[in-house]
Amino acid sequence: MDQKEMVKQVLDFNHATFNNSFNALVLLQDQFERVAQTVLSQTGWLPEEGHEAINEWVNNYKAGRDQFKTYVDDNYTNMETFFAG
């Protein structure tokens, strides 16, 4: 088997593993967010500003998570291009 083909298979496997792990992590985080939102909506001690701050924090976290995924996908694409040539 050609070395480039072996490297491509390893990269494909690593990329698939990363995607599966990342998607599982996203599901867990989204589930926790739903539970936390339910609990926070039932509390009377947290003012509206607190809810807004938590929502802003969650949105920033999701944006960072999506940006990280984009960086990783771009780098996998770069590696595949590098080894294809």
Averaged pLDDT, 53-64: 95
Q: Which helix (H) or strand (E) holds 10?
A: helix 3-41
Give residue-wise pLDDT tens across range 64-81: 999 999 999 999 999 989
Output the pTM of the full model: 0.84
Give residue-wise pLDDT tens across range 5-55: 888 899 999 999 999 999 999 999 999 999 999 998 888 888 889 889 999
For the chain, give the mean pLDDT.
92
Write the DSSP string, 17-40.
HHHHHHHHHHHHHHHHHHHHHHHH
Which residues, in sequence order, are CB contacts of 46 under 8 Å at separation 6+? Answer: 40
Q: Given CA atoms 9, 12, 15, 20 in this order, what sign does their dihedral have? A: negative
